Amino acid sequence: MKIIMLGAPGAGKGTQAKKIAEKYQIPHISTGDIFRANIKNGTELGKKAKSYMDQGQLVPDELTVDLLMDRVKNEDCKNGYVLDGFPRTIPQAEALEDALNKTGDKIDYAINVDVPDENIINRMSGRRACVKCGATYHLVHIPPKTENICDNCGSELILRDDDKPETVKNRLGVYHDQTQPLIDFYTEKGILKEVDGTQKMEDVFEAITALIN
């Protein structure tokens, strides 16, 4: 079972990807993790990726797909995997499809966790992070015991810059321009499944497993 997770920043797709991976005993794969592992291990592909990252450039799609295909050859992927955060654009989706076709493989489901922008802006502006230990809270869903103080270490909690409404709006704009077309791409392939991401986390997960099963 090979799954791609889609959804705007803050829609909760990463959380759901981890839960799917746990339930079905398949790896949760993000390109960031792959980059870090290859760079740490000094692989040829890792060195290539690092040369782009060191110059502040994006790793080209072809190289990212090569790294991804290298990862999914591993034994732990024999029953499938969940891709989180890739592909983000149509060219990436096409490059991934071509690479999988060459190995006689394909993606089974593209699951879109659908949440309106307004909900995401409200959700993310309620997040708070500890300046010292990095623990995260939410004013509504996971509030700290004492207002603006971390339960773990007693340090101050802040609203991070990337959770501020104006930043979130910008990120959503980029998402709609680049990633939204993937919804149409995977709809045409007949593998898109949509779930209402405004529900409770457990209900979203139940909806996803019902679609998969």
- Tell me how far apart the alpha carbons of residues 142 and 138 are, in angstroms, rounded to a whole number: 5
Annotated active-site residue 160? The verdict is yes
Annotated active-site residue 78? The verdict is no
Supply 9's token pair.
């920043």
- Tell me how far apart the alpha carbons of residues 11 and 114 are, in angstroms, rounded to a whole number: 7
Annotated active-site residue 189? The verdict is no
Pick the catalytic residue from 73, 78, 160, 169. 160
Annotated active-site residue 13? The verdict is yes
Pick the catalytic residue from 171, 189, 193, 200. 171
Nearest to 9 by CA among 119, 138, 96, 142: 119
Residues present in the chain in total: 213
Pick the catalytic residue from 2, 71, 123, 127. 127
Pairing of strands 127-130, 81-84: unpaired
Nearest to 112 by CA among 186, 29, 1: 186
Annotated active-site residue 36? The verdict is no
Pick the catalytic residue from 50, 88, 164, 193. 88
- Tell me how far apart the alpha carbons of residues 84 and 80 are, in angstroms, rounded to a whole number: 13
Angle at which helix 117-125 crosses helix 165-178, to 10 degrees, equals 140
Pick the catalytic residue from 2, 13, 71, 123. 13
Tokens 């990807």 belong to residue: 17
- Tell me how far apart the alpha carbons of residues 82 and 11 are, in angstroms, rounded to a whole number: 16
Active centre residues (catalytic) = 13, 88, 127, 160, 171
